[in-house]
Amino acid sequence: MNADVLVVGAGPAGLAAAVELRKLGAGRVLVVDRDEAAGGIPRHSAHTGFGARDLRRVLTGPAYARRYADAAAAAGADILLGTTMTGWDGPAPRGPHRVTLTSEAGVRAVDASAVLLATGCRERPRSARLVPGDRPPGVMTTGELQRRVYLAGQRLPGRALVVGAEHVSFSAMVTLAHAGARVLALITDRPRHTSYAGFALAASLRWRVPVWRSTMVRQVTGRGRLEGVELADTRTGAARFVPCDVVVFTGDWIPDHELARTAGLAMDPGTRGPAVDTALETSVPGVFAAGNLVHAAETADVAALGGRHAARGIAEFLRRGADGGRAAAGGRGPAPGGARLPLTAEPPLRWVAPNLLRAGGPAPPRGRFILRSDVFARLARLEVRQDGRRLATVPSFGIRPDRPVRLSASWTGRADPGGGPVTVRLA
């Protein structure tokens, strides 16, 4: 089987990219996803708020997912569901990228001129967070919770605790209430929640759910059934036991980067996803990455806009191949602009995406870089430096952990293509 572009992942980023690729004249666009339906995480996020930036309207998660799945099919993309990419031979010296797809129908090889990885991200479970305890039923992540409740119709009566106090934590609280649970509290080891003030106010007034700040989960207790959790105050060390029937671990995102690592792509230690330039191309020519694989975790509409941006980079890559370069033998020429400069974030900033600069390359998605911080700062300045030279100083307001910090790309033309790495720091 051959394709001009193989898109791995049928979430917002992958489907938006498929629609844009077809609009830009790409030939066969093949989208594969291991799930049984297209749409990604929004498919089982029943709350509203999706689509404001990309579709200019506000939809529920399932409606948003259907809109993109229908648009991709209408645009002429081929969508294979229940299909997992299980092998990657990598690019041949003068030929396409060859991958292996596995489904109930069997195993097949696909040759694609370009590949877009849009595999998204996931929450780290209790075990990965090194929270001691056994594995009783009732301990889960938000993703598992929403699948149980919104896809399987499961009820979860009883007492529940939500570990985390970011956007998705409040979403988990609403899902638990919908499933019949009595949510006791949201728990965060930070001095305050990291979501919008309105979310915390609604949780307190409508659902009467408090946020227990500066509190960590020390242990999960229970064998045949969950009995409760041991909590500790991070300021005083005081411990207490809270009986409960459900514990949901939220946030603490990590990209689904297994395929990127299998392909041998250069990885960024900050984002823990593949390193990408502002066109969202990885270290392997013709392999792109978009969505929450490169910035875990942004909202679905930001991921979709990143998918559209990647599609434009892929279309340009295919055009260069069709125009000549190394394409005569089936290969593709390197992207214009030559060497790429690393772009890194200094602590207490955690990471920046995209994280490579190429002279003459396009602006990043939406004309800005996305960063994350480990600290709260009401008024701060972001400073961009290269080889001891300040390229830009940009004010930033209301920096919080777990929330995006945005940096305009207006300074990139001042970077020296032959210089050292570019760094972003809090001034």
pLDDT in tens, 169-211: 999 999 999 999 999 999 999 999 999 889 899 899 889 999 9
22-58 pLDDT tens trace: 999 999 999 999 999 999 999 988 888 999 999 999 9
Is residue 299 located within the same domain as residue 192?
A: no
Q: For residue 398, what pLDDT is reported?
A: 85
273-290 pLDDT tens trace: 999 999 999 999 999 999
Rg (CA), the chain: 22
Is residue 323 located within the same domain as residue 179?
A: no
SS3 of residue 181 by DSSP: strand
8 A C-beta contact, residue 284 and residue 110: no
Q: For residue 332, what pLDDT is reported?
A: 43
Is residue 64 located within the same domain as residue 99?
A: yes
Q: For residue 106, what pLDDT is reported?
A: 96
Single residue among 299, 314, 335 that ends a domain in this structure: 335
Q: Which amino acid is at 181?
A: A
Is residue 111 located within the same domain as residue 258?
A: yes
pLDDT (average), residues 319-340: 55
Mean of pLDDT over the chain: 93
Is residue 113 located within the same domain as residue 8?
A: yes
8 A C-beta contact, residue 24 and residue 315: yes
Is residue 150 located within the same domain as residue 76?
A: no
Buried b (16+ CB within 10 A) or exposed e, 312-349: bbbbbbbebbeeeeebeeebbeebebeebbebbbeeeb
Q: At what angle do helices 61-75 and 12-23 cross, to 10 degrees?
A: 30
By residue range, what is the domain housing residue 51? 1-122+253-335
Distance CA 146, CA 154 (A): 10
Is residue 213 located within the same domain as residue 171?
A: yes
Q: For residue 92, what pLDDT is reported?
A: 54
Q: For residue 47, what pLDDT is reported?
A: 86
Count of Cβ atoms closer than 10 Å to residue 387 Cβ: 12
| Cis-peptide, bond into residue 297, ω within 30° of zero | yes
Task: Give one DSSP letter per residue of 64-89, joined into a string.
Answer: HHHHHHHHHHHHT-EEEES-EEEEEE
Is residue 286 located within the same domain as residue 349?
A: no
**Is the model's pLDDT at 21 over the cut of 60?**
yes
Reading the block at residue 61, the tokens are: 């998660």
Give the pLDDT band of residue 123 (cuts 50, 70, 90).
very high
Is residue 346 located within the same domain as residue 330?
A: no
**Is the model's pLDDT at 93 over the cut of 70?**
no
Single residue among 291, 313, 335 that ends a domain in this structure: 335
8 A C-beta contact, residue 354 and residue 424: no
Is residue 222 located within the same domain as residue 364?
A: no
Is residue 144 located within the same domain as residue 179?
A: yes
Q: Where are the alpha helices (DSSP H) in 179-242?
A: 197-205
> How many independent structural domains does the chain possess?
3
Single residue among 317, 335, 353 that ends a domain in this structure: 335
Domain containing residue 140: CATH number: 3.50.50.60
Please report the beta strands in 34-193, taking only residues with DSSP state E, as ranges in sequence order.
48-50, 59-60, 78-81, 84-91, 97-103, 106-117, 121-123, 139-141, 158-163, 181-187
pLDDT (average), residues 408-418: 95
Is residue 2 located within the same domain as residue 112?
A: yes
